[in-house]
Amino acid sequence: MRNKFVVPILALALIAVCGWGYSQYQTRRQYEINAENQYQRAFEDLTNHVGNMETAMSKALVAGSFPQSIRLLTGAWREATSCQNDLGQLPLTSMDLSRCKTIFAASSAFCLNSAQNRLLKGTSIDESEWTALKNLRDRTQIIKRHLDTLRGDFYNNRARWLQVDRMGTVGASGLAANFNNNTVTKSFLMLEDGLKRVPDVQFQGSNLNFVPKPTGLTGNNISSRDALAVAQRFVAAEMPRARVKYEGLIKGSFPSYMCSIVDPQNSDNSRNLSISVKGGHVLWMLGNRPVLNSRLNLNQAQEKAIGFLHRNGYDAMEAVADERFGNVCSISCISKRNGVLRYPELVKVQVAQDNGEVLGVDAVPYLTFYDPNDSSGFKSRYSESRIRRYISPHIKIQKVHLAQVLDEMFNKVPCYEVSCMEGLNRFLIYYNANTGQEEKIRRVDQYGNEIQ
């Protein structure tokens, strides 16, 4: 009698397991498709913006009138700024693309400064500016040619961004060899090498070649053995039995050791960490674990992120923005000292919303701009009440904060951050605390993320 029920029960159980497995496969497959589409969109945006920037620069080189010069220079500046944002959305964190980034930053700074100078003088660009603009245009053409070739590889050879993404999240051994064998990364390596072969562009009145010195990288150089201990401590609370392995040295703006970590109880749960040679600071961490459900809300994810940072020596951090990708929440945290929000000191933390585990960290901005020797306080010539006189009467002020932001030349600027509403639209307006001028305006969503 019992046997009559055993077979049907086992059959139903088998069907249920197969159904569950198939649903998980479909979920993972849909996540990969969405991720690939997002990367491809960012790449298409980058390619289009580089093309638009090159066109605007080329037109500015032949423009002879003041109005045309202003229009084309500001257009090139907007496109260069977009290029910087697009490049940051691609899974190329493990690659040294400093020269490419410098060209975008330099073009943005030059075009903005030149446009401002033209407004003051009321003339088209002079000879020295024309030469600098031509040199920047020529380097932009190098980038454009590489991106156009790579775009063809995506259409003709089925190159995929997820393969690049997995290089940074699945085993870092042989990283350089993997980069050389992958169509996408090899193209960017060739691009970077090509840009290194041309001299830097020089012009007056700009920090064109200025690269921020990482003031947060303190301490003496460490060995690869020391890096293993740093990696172990960084994940000790969440992966106490983790197996740590040294993968190699990464050269670049921040020379660092690459380490990989695997949970012996769950081989699918792994991390890759980049640890600076100077001082042994964790530059970034990337995790590789499927997150199939969400039990934590955004507030709980923020608490996990802040707690993780506090355990690892990042004190007085405040969450200012949240983004959700699947069931992973990316929390943007900045320092808040003496009541001042310090936006340059940014750390991004990725939190799994199933159990609150920290999967990823990006501390490069923080380590670049945090200065432990900076004892200067918030110096302001203007009071908050005086700043309020400059605010548009058409907005509803929610709150005013003391804040520190970066200008186009990476200088730290003391500001008043005005959080306000215009209808249903939220804005953050930054007024220079010493001049009263508007430094920048950011339109943000309800989670603090900037809307382009």
What does the pLDDT read at residue 31?
57
Q: Which residue has the tokens 């730290």?
A: 412
Q: Give residues with Cβ within 8 angstroms of 370, minimum separation 6.
A: 215, 216, 335, 344, 345
Please give the single-letter amino acid code of residue 312.
Answer: N
Residue 102 has pLDDT above 90, yes or no: no
Q: Distance between CA atoms of 40 and 164, rounded to whole angstroms?
A: 12
- Rounded to two decimals, the pTM is 0.61
The band of 292, judged by pLDDT with boundaries at 50, 70 and 90, is confident
Annotated domain spans of the chain: 28-196, 224-369, 384-444
What does the pLDDT read at residue 62?
87
DSSP conformational letter for 207: -
Q: Which residue has the tokens 């400064």?
A: 113
Nearest to 257 by CA among 239, 231, 237: 231
> Residues 186-224: pLDDT tens digits?
777 778 777 777 666 655 544 544 556 788 999 999 999
What does the pLDDT read at residue 452?
65
For the residues 432-443, what does the mean pLDDT come to? 90
Q: Are the CB atoms for 75 and 82 separated by under 8 Å?
A: no
Q: What DSSP assignment string belongs to 360-404?
A: EEE-HHHHHH--TT-------SS-HHHHGGGS-TTSEEEEEEEEE
What is the domain class of 384-444 according to CATH? alpha beta
Q: Give residues with Cβ within 8 angstroms of 382, minimum separation 6.
A: 416, 431, 432, 433, 434, 435, 436
> Residues 352-366: pLDDT tens digits?
999 999 999 999 999
Nearest to 445 by CA among 324, 266, 303, 291: 324
> Residues 23-56: pLDDT tens digits?
555 555 555 566 677 778 888 888 899 999 999 9
Q: Distance between CA atoms of 231 and 222, rounded to whole angstroms?
A: 13
What does the pLDDT read at residue 258?
92
What does the pLDDT read at residue 425?
93
For the residues 426-442, what does the mean pLDDT come to? 91
Q: Distance between CA atoms of 305 and 207, rounded to whole angstroms?
A: 35
Burial class (CB in 10 A: 0-12, 13-18, 19+), 450: exposed
Please give the single-letter amino acid code of residue 450.
Answer: E
What does the pLDDT read at residue 373?
82
Q: Give residues with Cβ within 8 angstroms of 285, minimum separation 6.
A: 234, 235, 271, 272, 273, 274, 358, 360, 361
Q: How far is CA 289 from the centre of its chain?
A: 21
The band of 326, judged by pLDDT with boundaries at 50, 70 and 90, is confident
